[in-house]
Chains A and B, each alone.
Chain A
Amino acid sequence: MNTASRRVPTGLLAALPLLLLWAPLRQLLEGSMALHMLVELPLLLASGWAAGAVLAHHRLPAGLPCRVDAHGVLGLAFASCVGALWMIPSMLDLSLLDAGVQWAKYGAWWLSGVVLRASWRRSEPEIAAFFVGNMAWMLATAGLLYQDEEQRLCVSYLVDEQAVAGKGLIVLALVLAGLALHRAVAAPRPAAIQPGERLTPDAGERTSGMIRR
């Protein structure tokens, strides 16, 4: 697929949240806890990621400035905070019962997708693996809690849906753990650097993912 033909689906994915203005789709996605947590929220993140690509293509700001996001740390931390916030059961309920919280949720997940794209590219494998590993651990903890809790944690969902969402979160945690491992292990390693040889500043930018010695 060439660049131009890739640009169309990316643009469509970036504009995906506009579909949430259509109430029946919103109700479908948010009517089930599993769809809400495992489809809607990741799709918003992916949409933000795609929007980042569109912005970058048009040479518009598409991430945090380098001076506050060295190695992608701030962007990865921001995305982790957004992820953690929406694991809290009361936030899920409030996003269904309070319009302000609902749109804050859409905005936060979409924005974290935009930020994450740039920060992910800046991050080195160890740093990316640290944040993704932490997110996987957090999802697995939330998933186990949702799966085993006999009381309803959200007034908007049934206990059965809660258990299904919990299982889904555990699967997602395993996928993320695999991603963290892959990023850490499969990253390209630098060739042996001879004593006295130095990486130039430009090379440092180009070799994102390399371990500098």
Chain B
Amino acid sequence: MPAARGSAAAARPRALVTTLLAALALLVGFIALVGQLTRGFEYWTFEALRRDDAAGARLLAPPVALSGPYRAASTPWPGQPGEVFLVDFIYTRCPTVCSALGAEYTRMQRALRERFGADSPIRLVSIAFDRAHDTPAALRDYGITHRQAPELWQIGTPVDAAAQETLLRSLGVVAVPDGMGGFVHNGAIHLIDAGGTVRGIYDLERWPQALERALALAAAGRS
């Protein structure tokens, strides 16, 4: 069947050309997808994407009910225009980063008191996520250790697991058991405006920049 053989032979180069074009289209699509997922090949980790979301005001913190060391209260957002909140996530048994965060919060609290007295537009919020151990008594001890002034610094834990899941998921805060009874988590300072939008995420050692940005946001909100 020479005719059939000839048409099969002609089909092979055609198939190769179609295949190469399809592979090229796949490659272009793949590069475009990766470009989109990494926002222009710039952010390759979840944390980098999260911080970019915060910088672009695309991260929203839903208000949730908190139980504190002395009484229950909601998250302070939504608040009045010009109010700004510096929020961190802790667990009270944490021997490392949370203690350091507590110490930095003590310094920020002092700076706010010196500048605004008790009526500060910027308030500090520490949200404890180890629900099994962050009891009101543990939160009280944490506050006492770090000389917490309740009018400037709110400490609390979400009232139930669902509220905690809602808040942490929305912000992309992930706490992973460290295998020694504690947690490893993306512990950073979240700058949240009166509407609950995260406006920046700052590493612990960059707390002065976080405070400076909070002051600028508060001033802009009041003007």
Q: Which residues of A contact B (CB under 8 A)?
A: 66-71, 73-74, 77-78, 81, 84-85, 88-91, 93-94, 97, 152-158, 200-201, 204
**CB within 8 Å for A67 and B23 given contacts A81-B30, A93-B45, A97-B174:** no
B137 interface hit (Cβ, 8 Å)? no
Please report the total number of B residues contacting A with Cβ < 8 Å.
36
Q: Which residue of A lies closest to B21 (CB)?
A: A68
Pair A90/B15 contact, Cβ less than 8 Å: no
**Majority DSSP secondary structure for residues of B touching A:** helix
Pair B44/A89 contact, Cβ less than 8 Å: yes
Chain B residues with CB under 8 Å of A69's CB are 19, 22
Chain A residues with CB under 8 Å of B174's CB are 93, 97, 155-156
Q: Which residue of B lies closest to A204 (CB)?
A: B12
**CB within 8 Å for A90 and B38 given contacts A70-B12, A97-B46, A152-B184:** yes
**CB within 8 Å for A85 and B33 given contacts A97-B46, A201-B5:** yes
CB-CB nearest 10 A-B residue pairs: A93-B46, A70-B19, A155-B174, A70-B15, A201-B8, A81-B30, A70-B16, A68-B22, A90-B46, A77-B23
What's the least CB distance linking A156 to chain B, in Å?
A: 6
What's the least CB distance linking B142 to chain A, in Å?
A: 24
B3 interface hit (Cβ, 8 Å)? no
Q: What CA separation (Å) do A106 and B194 show in the bound complex? A: 40
Within residues 42 to 71 of chain B, which ones have a CB less than 8 A from any CB in chain A? Answer: 43-49
Pair B184/A74 contact, Cβ less than 8 Å: no
Pair A158/B184 contact, Cβ less than 8 Å: yes
Q: Which residue of B lies closest to A90 (CB)?
A: B46
Pair A158/B34 contact, Cβ less than 8 Å: no
Q: Which residue of B lies closest to A68 (CB)?
A: B22
